[in-house]
Amino acid sequence: MIVSSALMIWKGLMVITGSESPIVVVLRQNGHIKFLTKGDNNAVDDRGLYKQGQHWLEKKDVVGRARGFVPYIGIVTILMNDYPKFKYAVLFLLGLFVLVHRE
């Protein structure tokens, strides 16, 4: 139940922001628009995540559009990985929230 709630929250954020990767660089080459993505706090671009031999994303690869951002939201994941007690506290609070707000 807790995992599905967290997944629904994550999917909801995807719908609100329109994309999992809101930072993109647009390049025009030969009249075609191509994209190069880069994570918020990464020193390099995301080409290592593309399929082998692919250097740019094309319009067909784009799933959504970013309409905003939430600064420092990724710190929650880092804290949960570094401090297991914090992770269990967050999971407990999410579980409590689900139980209390049942219809």
Best CA proximity match to 37, nearest among 51, 54, 57, 17: 57
Beta-carbon contacts of residue 81 (< 8 Å; ≥ 6 apart): 87
Using the predicted structure, report yes or no on whether residue 54 has a pLDDT greater than 50: yes
Residues 93, 98: Cα–Cα separation, whole Å? 9
Mean pLDDT across the chain, nearest whole number? 76
Section 34-62 average pLDDT: 80
**What's the pTM?**
0.39
Lowest mean pLDDT among 30-34, 42-46, 79-83: 30-34
Q: Is the pLDDT higher at 88 or at 20? A: 88
CA distances from 41 to 79, 86, 96 (A): 16, 23, 32
